Each structure stands twice: as C-alpha cells, then as structure tokens.
Amino acid sequence: MDQFSAHLDRGWDLVQRGDSRGAEQSARRALELDSQSPEAHNLLGYVAALQGEFEDAIESYREAIALDDTYLEAMLNAAEVYIHPLGDFDEALRICDHALTLAENDDELVDTLLLKFDAHLGKGELDEAKALCERFPPGPFENPNHTFLVGRALYETGDVERAAPLIEEAAKRSGKNPEATYYLGLVRDERGDARGATEAFLTARELDLELPAPVWTLTRETFEVTAKRAVLSLPDDLRLFVREDEVYAADTPGVEVVVDGVDPRALLLLDGVNAREASAHPTARVFVYQRNVERLAGSVELVEAEIRSALEREITLSFIESEAKNDPDSQLN
C-alpha cells in the first residue's frame, strides 16, 4: 500500500474509533501528498462535520465534488450537513436530485432517497416525503441500517403498519443501535403496548449514554450557564412561568421519569409546578438534558438556540395552551 492510501485508510479507521483529531491529521497528510485528491477532501470534510465545523465541512465537500463531479459519497455527505444542522433544505434537495442521476445500485439509491426524504420533511412537505417512500426498493436490504432507516421514514409519515416490521427487525438484528431501539419504543407506544414501549425507551436511554459525547461537548458548568442564559432570553410573557433560579442540567431524563412517560430524548422537562406568589401564574423548575440537546444542536453555537426553542414550545404547551383549554373564555395575547 502506498503512503497516500495508508493515510486515507488510517484516517477512516480513526473516524471509526472516535479520534477526529487524529483523523484530521491523516487527511491533511494525504492532501500534502496529493492536493487534488477528492477522497482526501471528502475525509477532511467528514472530520470537520464531526467536530461541529460545518461550514468548513461544506467547503471540503465542495472541493471534492469540484475535483470529481461524479463523487456520490461527497455529495451525500454534503447534503446531510445541509439538512442538519445548517437547515438549507433546498440546497440539500438540489444535491440529492443530481445524486439520483448517479446512483448505480439499490444501496446508493436508498441512501439518496433517505436524504431527500429528510429534506422534504425538514421543509414540512409531508406529501412529497410520503411519495418518496414509494420509491424505496422492496427489500430485504443488504445494508442492515437501511432496514431501520426506511422503517423510520415510513413511521415519520404515519405508516406505522409498514414501518413496524422493519423497525422490529432492525432492533433485533442490532440490539446496540439506540436509534432502532428508540423507534421500537415509539412503534410499541403507537400500538398501545405501554410496558413494551417503556422497556424499549429505557434500553435506548442506556445505549445513548454509552455513546461518547461529541468532541465539542460543553462542560457541565458551561452547559448550565448556557441553559440559564436561554431562560433569561425568553420573552417576558413566557419567562414568568419558570423559576429562573431553579435551572438544572443532567445528561438525560432519569429512569424514574421515563417510566412515568417522559420521552428519554426530551430536551428538557418542566417540573415541580407551584403557584407563583402574588400572581395567578404557576411556575416550574427547569431540567435540561445535555446529551439530548447536544445531539440535536450538532454544534456549540446552536446549543442555546435549541434550549430556548424547546423552552418556548414546552411553556406554550404546558401552561398557555393548557390554560386556554381549561378556560375557553380566556384571551391569549
């Protein structure tokens, strides 16, 4: 094996081991030997994405594609970053449409359709997402992960009956896959199997905690400060529902609240509701779950925004809309 190929192989091996810094060094050494290598630029982009440096990742992927305009892997990697966390769904769709013209087998077709599905779902285009589900090959799938991902897509479009056997098979075949196990819980819950759903959710929680934190993860102290800052940034009409001096951080929801029905991947929980002194409004403590927030945020820069967005949703659902239901004559601002 030549030195260039050795650096590439070592880089991908280090990616699998979770050593993104070492993988970056291997990618840069490969580029020193061949600056026009699309494969080396693709590896550098993948590493940048792992490190939460998404604009750098896109730049590297674009360089790889410029060097080889048929490089499907780099296109799909770029589309994935555009979908999350960048949220540029139109650009992701543009890339996926071009990638579909290059797909040569079922694996490549499924990979591309799944990303296009996520982009449509991100835009709220449910009809288009449903239509894509009809283009998936019938299976069985050679890639075990496709079994789960197609099942997940079907679940997300409301086709639980078609999704269930695929998700059940994926969870059975890959018992250490937290995604498949979590969706197994969702399927069981949809089917009214509360006990089975709880078991799956508890297992998914344990599997999530076994995964390494992202390389850019915040310290617990910094995360708590960020969560408190998100609370203080709320509009006044929402902030009055939470106790600003009682904001707590943990990795994930505890076993005891998951058993009581809390989603193990909840971003936060409003708890301990009390009547506010000299006010008609109740207030709640805020528990914020770092692993779940960081998984969704994808980078340091987006953590506070994710917490604030979750707070706005939960306060609205738990207090404002709840009050409106209990008092039909109330006027909401």
- Helical (H) or strand (E) element with 272: strand 268-275
Contacts of 110 (CB under 8 A, 6+ apart): 136, 137, 141, 143, 146, 149, 150
Model confidence at 80, pLDDT cuts 50, 70, 90, reads: very high
Class of the 220-326 domain? alpha beta
What does the pLDDT read at residue 329? 54
Query: In the chain, how many H helices and how many E strands?
Result: 18, 3
What does the pLDDT read at residue 275? 56
Can you say whether the dihedral through the CA atoms of 95, 97, 102, 103 is positive or negative? positive
Mean of pLDDT over the chain: 92
Among candidate residues 312, 142, 137, the one with its CA nearest the CA of residue 235: 312
Among candidate residues 80, 70, 10, 69, the one with its CA nearest the CA of residue 45: 80
Class of the 138-212 domain? mainly alpha
- For 165, left (φ over 0), alpha (ψ -120 to 50), or beta? alpha
What does the pLDDT read at residue 18? 87
The predicted model gives 193-198 an average pLDDT of 97
**HSE toward the beta carbon, residue 29, CA cutoff 13 A:** 16
pLDDT in tens, 6-60: 999 999 999 999 899 999 999 999 999 999 999 999 999 999 999 989 999 999 9
Model confidence at 215, pLDDT cuts 50, 70, 90, reads: confident
Least confident of 136-140, 176-180, 265-269: 136-140
State residue 203 phi and psi, 5-degree precision. Answer: -65, -45
pLDDT in tens, 132-168: 999 999 878 888 899 999 999 999 999 999 999 999 9
| Lookup: tokens for 15 | 């990616």
Model confidence at 332, pLDDT cuts 50, 70, 90, reads: very low
**Residues 216 and 300 sit within 8 Å (Cβ to Cβ):** yes
What does the pLDDT read at residue 37? 97
The predicted model gives 311-324 an average pLDDT of 82
Query: Residue 155 and residue 152: Cα distance in Å, rounded?
Result: 5
The domain locations on the chain are: 138-212, 220-326
What does the pLDDT read at residue 278? 43
What does the pLDDT read at residue 282? 84
